[in-house]
Amino acid sequence: MSEEIFNSRAPSGWHADSAGVSPAAAVNPDVRWLLTELGIRLTERAPRMVTGQMVAGASRVITFGCLDRCPIGAEGKGEDWPLPGAAGKTPDQLRAIRDELSERIDGLIRDYCLAGGSGASSPGPGPGPGLEELRKELVKAAKARGTLTYGQLMKIMGISRGHPLFEAIAAVDRGEYARGAPGFAAIIVRKDTGFPGGGFFCDDDLPPSLRRPFSRASDPKLSAAEMNYVKGAQKKIWDYYSANIR
């Protein structure tokens, strides 16, 4: 599950491979629905044994209570995440484990990958100016009562693919929410339609009548009600950042 979550969010040039010191015969069947709830599709493959070659080629080694049993070489670049096992857990307990894992992966991407940690293979484009620079650009746009496209932000961040940018935006927004600010989702728009990407309408905070299923996440057709909601959300962002010197 950790491999799939990381690879669905990883910046360009970063990739995770999972393996175990005592791998099971098959992937736990609960992993499929736990990932599906995050909009992630499970890759079909069998669990495998971790090897010295894998550890040697890794930039970072994440373990779950077994760092002392990893092949030689893991200690200097490893960290252990004390997460409980899945055996005997209820669906809600499994979701809690998944959500903590997801938060830890977001932190790893933010603090290591986007912060400039050295990749084991060809790293691709660098991490760009970083999250604070991204936030400054978004605040500037909000104060000007304007918007930014994903393409413009990708250029600012110095990355060539969209998904790493989505994770960086999410990290910036989490910081804004913690400060009681509205975040920037509504003013980051698609170039073709001028409105936020499809994921905006899958947010649990939206009114139920406007919330889209993941199957319609990228549908560029917006209803009148969706358009009005976006305009209102944009105005809240503009008003907040125009009135607050941040």
Q: Please report, for the domain that includes residue 102, its CATH number.
A: 3.40.50.2300
82 and 176 share one domain: no
What tens digit of pLDDT does each residue of 26-65 get?
Answer: 899 999 999 998 888 888 878 888 888 787 788 888 888 7
Does residue 158 fall inside a structural domain?
yes
Tell me which of 64, 83, 113 is where a domain ends: 113
CB 86 within 8 A of CB 30: yes
Give yes or no for a contact between 75 and 92, defined as CB atoms under 8 angstroms apart: no
d(CA 170, CA 4): 18
Domains of the chain: total:
2
Asked, for residue 49, whether it belongs to a domain, the answer is yes
pLDDT at 201: 82
In this prediction the pTM is 0.49
Burial 61-80 (b: 16+ CB within 10 A, else e): bbbeeebeebeebbeeeeee
Is 140 found in the same domain as 105? no
Q: Are residues 68 and 107 in the same domain?
A: yes
The greatest distance separating any two alpha carbons of the chain, rounded to the nearest whole angstrom, comes to 60
Pair (90, 21) in one structural domain: yes
125 located within any domain? no
CA–CA distance, 242 with 246 (Å, rounded to integer)? 9
How confident is the model over 189-204, as pLDDT tens digits? Answer: 888 788 887 668 877 6
Same domain, 162 and 226: yes
What is the per-residue pLDDT across 91-148, written as a single tens digit (0 to 9) for each? 999 999 999 999 888 888 887 777 666 443 333 333 344 777 888 899 999 999 999 9
The first and second tokens of residue 84, run together, are 């409980």
Domain final residue pick, 113, 144, 171:
113
88 and 137, same domain (yes or no): no
Residues of the domain holding 9: 2-113
